[in-house]
Structure 1
Amino acid sequence: MKHLIALAITAGASPLLAQDISLQLPIDCTLGKTCFIQQFTDRDPGPEAKDFTCGTLSYDGHKGTDFALATHEDRLNGVDVLAAADGRVRGVRDGMPDLGLDNTSSDEIEGRDCGNGVVIDHGNGWETQYCHMAQGSVRVLDGDTVTAGTPLGQVGFSGRTQFPHLHLSVRHNGAVVDPFAPNTDSCADSELSLWAKDIAYQPSAILDLGLSDAVPEYDAIKQGLPEADIARNEPLVLWGYAYGAQSGDVMSFLITGPHGEIFRHDVTVDRQQAQYFRAGGLKAPKGGWPTGRYTGLVSVSREGRLVDRRVTQAEIHG
């Protein structure tokens, strides 16, 4: 097994970096639909954490960008990790199990927080590192030449991680660089980005939602739930799974059936949470639900402004 090269990492980017690298999206997905940026590089020099907008999508000392999948089912279906720019592979690791932080021994994670991954040298002091890839999926070898978009492997659940995602680190001369704002050491508006195409900042989003006959277990939601088969005499529950919660956010639920609206409810989030889920619903009426199609709408609002909304549907048969 080859090992990722150990590198001295210094937090914070050098100001006014020359932009001699341009990055493509390092994952084969559609941002905001099939994948989401849940954590950015920490721009706060102290014990607090702030992303490049001075928002809360980071944690203390985070040295990269996390491109997350909604559920483990998405991970198991296979999502490619892609080279963000042309370069030469200068380190690989494979063989660590896809068990995440909670189910991997401390001995196995020690010094290998990245899990299975790849380091690419792009020249002129630039390099990128790709972490938490799936066991047995790494497709490149040390010394290989790659071009932007070359598949490196697949998103996994290896190393120090608690959700399926690709962690991308960008470094220049060994120092961590935030690709969203490489010319500043603090969180602030920046006109410079290393991305070849603009990537919209999404402060929160709904990862998944569904209609079911009971409030599902949180672990089951994170794994990925199949479409529910709801009987006429069973409760009807609408649930939403989201990221980036701030205290005061409102998750709203609306269920409509063959004869119009049957349920509406708002839940106010009481604390900041990286990921969370809420649910609401009601028991079946006397005689059971009318047969037909039912639609669930989940939305998230912040300070009265809509952040995200998604729709799901289910059929109730006679």
Structure 2
Amino acid sequence: MRFGLLALLSLAAPVAAGDLSLSSPIDCDLNGPCYIQQYVDHDPSPKASDFTCSGLSYDGHKGTDFALPTYDMIATGVDVLASASGIVAGIRDGMEDARYSSDREAEIKGRECGNGIVLRHADGWETQYCHMRKGSVTVSEGQQINTGYILGQVGMSGRAEFPHVHLSVRHDGKVVDPFDPDGTITCGETETDTLWSEDPSYRAGGIVTIGTSAAIPEFSDIRANTVTPPDAQSNALVMYAFLFGTQKGDIIRLSLIGPDGEIVERDTLLKRNQAQSFRAAGKKLKSARWPAGLYSGEVTLLRDEQIIDSQSLSLIMP
């Protein structure tokens, strides 16, 4: 089996886009609630660049990360699907689903992929599926499977800081970006030759989830979907947003309007790039209770004065 982190390999070797046809490896809508957090790194320097010359990658990243919005969806169960027909060439299962931290580096050394599967396809192609949920693998080594077959479920095993399935594609042992298989990057132009049967939409950053809370939440609670919701006697009423792929210069606009008018409206200018982040704003209670009725919240992500993403919600206070 080949499961650790592979050395950074050149993407320069041209491949024919028709040699392998891929479908999504996750049974979840990538326009929400799920999303692609990171792509293959095309920058040979210590910096990182995805196939659009944007920053949705990190140095040496060799695959595509299809992410769940919150940790609780691991327990709910989201299927990992075979992106192409092939033969099971390697399996690992039994590793815990635990968020990676530096004190676990020795524990997972050589097993950074976590629980996962390697599929071998025709003409020297391989796909690899990493960070799957403990005990979820459904296939056996040597088994022939078809596109869309359920391989297991999304988890957070190995070197994973959020729940996702990492898909690596290789041709004759070389890393291939399924969004740009020939490795020729032309910034500002739409890539037309890909390995996807249906291209997953590219989102250059966006909003993962939004919500209201009774206080400024901890990021860990947002990720775990354990934020305390507000009620009529809450000491504060807060609007929050969990975002991915934000860039320096982006503006996060948070607004919450109640039955008596505006609760909060705030623009925050971001000062650095962040793979994942959250922002929150609110107002303290100044009377016996919050007014009964409908509250409307909205979060907008703006980049270069253009709307990148927007989500809204409503809350009825009894």
TM-score, normalised to structure 1, is 0.94
Shift of 1:187: 5.6
- Secondary structure at 2:282's aligned position in 1? strand
Question: Given that residues 13 and 176 in structure 1 are in contact (C-alpha distance below 8 angstroms), is that contact kept between their aligned partners in structure 2?
Answer: no
Q: Structure 1 regions of 5+ residues with no counterpart? A: none
Q: Distance in 1 between matches of 2:4 and 2:224?
A: 32
Corresponding residue for residue 212 of structure 2: 211
Once the two structures are overlaid, the 10-residue window that deviates more, 148-157 or 9-18, is 9-18
Corresponding residue for residue 159 of structure 1: 158
Corresponding residue for residue 264 of structure 1: 265
Deviation track 1:65-94 (CA, whole Å, cap 9, x = no partner) reads 000111101222110000001111000000
Shift of 1:6: 6.8
Q: Distance in 2 between matches of 1:174 and 1:230?
A: 56
Once the two structures are overlaid, the 10-residue window that deviates more, 170-179 or 224-233, is 224-233
Shift of 1:104: 6.8
Corresponding residue for residue 280 of structure 1: 281
Question: Given that residues 4 and 93 in structure 1 are in contact (C-alpha distance below 8 angstroms), is that contact kept between their aligned partners in structure 2?
Answer: no
Q: Distance in 1 between matches of 2:112 and 2:181?
A: 24
Deviation track 1:33-56 (CA, whole Å, cap 9, x = no partner) reads 021101000011111100000000
Corresponding residue for residue 58 of structure 1: 57
| Identical residues among aligned pairs (%) | 46
Matches of residues 1-318 of structure 1 in structure 2 within 5 Å? 4=2, 10-17=9-16, 19-102=18-101, 105-186=104-185, 188=187, 189=189, 190-225=191-226, 228-232=229-233, 234-317=235-318
Shift of 1:14: 1.5
Q: Distance in 2 between matches of 1:218 and 1:6?
A: 29
Residues matched between the structures, number: 315
Shift of 1:19: 2.1
Deviation track 1:173-231 (CA, whole Å, cap 9, x = no partner) reads 00000000101244644320100012221011111111111001111111113571422
C-alpha change, 1:252 and 1:8, in structure 2 (3 Å) is: closer
- Secondary structure at 1:124's aligned position in 2? helix
Question: Given that residues 114 and 131 in structure 1 are in contact (C-alpha distance below 8 angstroms), is that contact kept between their aligned partners in structure 2?
Answer: yes
Once the two structures are overlaid, the 10-residue window that deviates more, 253-262 or 59-68, is 253-262
C-alpha change, 1:103 and 1:134, in structure 2 (3 Å) is: farther
C-alpha change, 1:236 and 1:87, in structure 2 (3 Å) is: same
Q: Distance in 1 between matches of 2:17 and 2:302?
A: 39
Question: Given that residues 242 and 275 in structure 1 are in contact (C-alpha distance below 8 angstroms), is that contact kept between their aligned partners in structure 2?
Answer: yes
C-alpha change, 1:68 and 1:187, in structure 2 (3 Å) is: farther
Q: Distance in 2 between matches of 1:61 and 1:116?
A: 21
Shift of 1:285: 3.6
Once the two structures are overlaid, the 10-residue window that deviates more, 83-92 or 70-79, is 70-79
- Secondary structure at 2:20's aligned position in 1? coil
C-alpha RMSD over aligned residues: 1.9
Question: Given that residues 300 and 308 in structure 1 are in contact (C-alpha distance below 8 angstroms), is that contact kept between their aligned partners in structure 2?
Answer: yes
Q: Distance in 2 between matches of 1:273 and 1:57?
A: 9
TM-score, normalised to structure 2, is 0.94
- Secondary structure at 1:19's aligned position in 2? helix
Question: Given that residues 241 and 276 in structure 1 are in contact (C-alpha distance below 8 angstroms), is that contact kept between their aligned partners in structure 2?
Answer: yes
Shift of 1:13: 4.6
